[in-house]
Structure 1
Amino acid sequence: MKDVGLWTISKVVLNHSHPCCPEQAEMLKQHMDLSMFVRRTIETHEEAGIRPSKTYQSFVAAAGSHRELGFIEKDVRNYITREVRNFSEEDDAKEFGKSRAAFEYFRDVVSFDTTYNTNRYNLVLGSFVGVNYHG
C-alpha cells in the first residue's frame, strides 16, 4: 500500500516455504570475504598464468574441502576481473601518459607489443637493433 510517497507494511509473514539451513549461511554473499592471503595468492597465480579453476582447486586442497572455504570459484574469477585486471589497465594508462610526455619531448613514440606473435610455449622474443641520435 502506497501512501504519500512512502511504503507502509500492512502484513508480515514469517513462515518460510523451505527449511532454514544455518550451516549454509556462511555461503551467503554477505558472509563471503577473501582474506589478504587469498587475494595475494590469486594475484600471484594470475600473473603466473595459472587458471582461476586451478587456483581455486589449490585452495580446496589446502583446506581439505570446498565446504571449508568461505568462497566459491566464481569469487576467485570475480576478484580477478574486478581487481587484478583493473590494476593492469591502470598501469597501461600510466604508460600511455608516459608515451605522450615522451612524444612531446622527442616528437616520436615507438610502441612494441611482444605478445603479438608467440611460439608454442607462449614465449616471446623482442629484439631492438638500431642507433639513436646520440651516436
Structure 2
Amino acid sequence: MGDFVLTTVNLEHNHDLIPTNSRHFAINKKILSPVKRRLEINDQAGIGVSRNYNSMVVEAGGYESLTFDERDTRNYIERPRKLRLGEGDSDALQKYFLRMHAQNSSFYYMIDVDTDFRIRNLFWADAMSRATYEEFGDVFSFDMTYLTNKYDMPFAPFVGVNHHGQSILLGCGLLSSEDTDTFHIMKKIPEKLKGYSQYESMKMDLQNAVYDTFTKDKFEMKWKEMIAKFNLYEN
C-alpha cells in the first residue's frame, strides 16, 4: 500500500455551520444529574428506552434542546445494570471469596451474573456475621446510602443490634442498581406459598402489603390481616 502526501488544505467551508448541531460533538454531550435521576425512575417503572428518551424530548421542547441522544440514553441506563469492574478485578474477587471459604466453610458468598456472565451483584457474610444473625437477626436494617466506593456502586450493609444495643454487621452486598430486580423483593413468594390452594389471592395481598403501604404501622396492619385471612400462622 502506497503512502499518501497532503499537498493542499482548504480551510473554507462549502456550507454554513449550524450551531445547534454542536450538541452532537462528543465533547458537548452530557446528561445532567436531575435528568439521570428521571431516566432511572422511568426505567425502574418499566418504561422502554425509546419512550423514556422521547419523554425527555417533549419535556425539553425538542431534540435540539437536549445535550444527549437516544443512544446516550440507552448507554446510561444499561451501564448501571452490571458492576463496573476493572480488568482483573473479577478474577481477584472470586479468588478472594474462594480463599475465605477454604479458610472457613461457613463463609458464604453469592455472585449474580447476567446472561453474558458479567457480574451484576455480590453478597457475602463471614462466619461471625452468620452466627450473629442466628442470635440477633429478628430485625435488621438494609442501608443503601453508601454510594461512594471505587466503582460508584451502592454498598449495602445488613446491620442488626445486639443485646448491648450495639450495631453489628450481618452481611454485605454490592449492587449494580437500585431496582426491584436487584433486590429480589418478591422472589421467594412462589417457593414459600405455591403449595397453597389460595396462592394467587395470597400473592396479591402480600404484594399490596409490600408495595402499597408507606408507613411501618400500615404495613404491619396489612401483614397481620393477611396472616389471619389465610391462616398462615404456622408458615
TM-score above 0.5 = yes
Structure 2 runs not aligned, ≥5 long? 113-184, 194-235
Q: 8 Å contact 1:31–1:70 — kept in the other structure?
A: yes
Report whether the alignment pairs 1:25 with 2:25.
no
**Superposition TM-score, scaled by structure 2 size:** 0.35
**Who is 2:158 aligned against?**
none
* Identity level (%): 25
Q: Could you say what the CA RMSD is over the residues aligned between the two structures, in angstroms?
A: 4.0
Report whether the alignment pairs 1:68 with 2:68.
no
**Who is 1:50 aligned against?**
47
Compute the displacement of 1:80 (Å).
Answer: 2.4
Structure 1 runs not aligned, ≥5 long? 3-7, 114-122, 130-135
Report whether the alignment pairs 1:38 with 2:32.
no
In terms of fraction of residues, the more strand-rich structure is 2
In terms of fraction of residues, the more helix-rich structure is 1
Q: 8 Å contact 1:33–1:70 — kept in the other structure?
A: yes
Q: Distance in 2 between matches of 1:34 and 1:67?
A: 14
Q: Distance in 2 between matches of 1:110 and 1:13?
A: 63
Q: 8 Å contact 2:22–2:28 — kept in the other structure?
A: yes
Residues paired across the two proteins, number:
111
Amino acid at match of 1:106: S
- 1:83-98 matches, cutoff 5 A: 83-87=79-83
**Superposition TM-score, scaled by structure 1 size:** 0.55
Compute the displacement of 1:55 (Å).
Answer: 1.3
With CA pairs under 8 Å and 6+ residues apart, which has the higher RCO, 1 or 2?
Answer: 1
SS at match of 1:106: coil
Q: 41-50 vs 54-63, which deviates more?
A: 41-50
**Who is 2:74 aligned against?**
77
Alignment CA distance shift 1:11-1:35 (3 Å): same
> 1:16-74, CA deviations, whole angstroms, 9 ceiling, x for partnerless residues?
23332223223322211110112222233333432111211221221122222121111
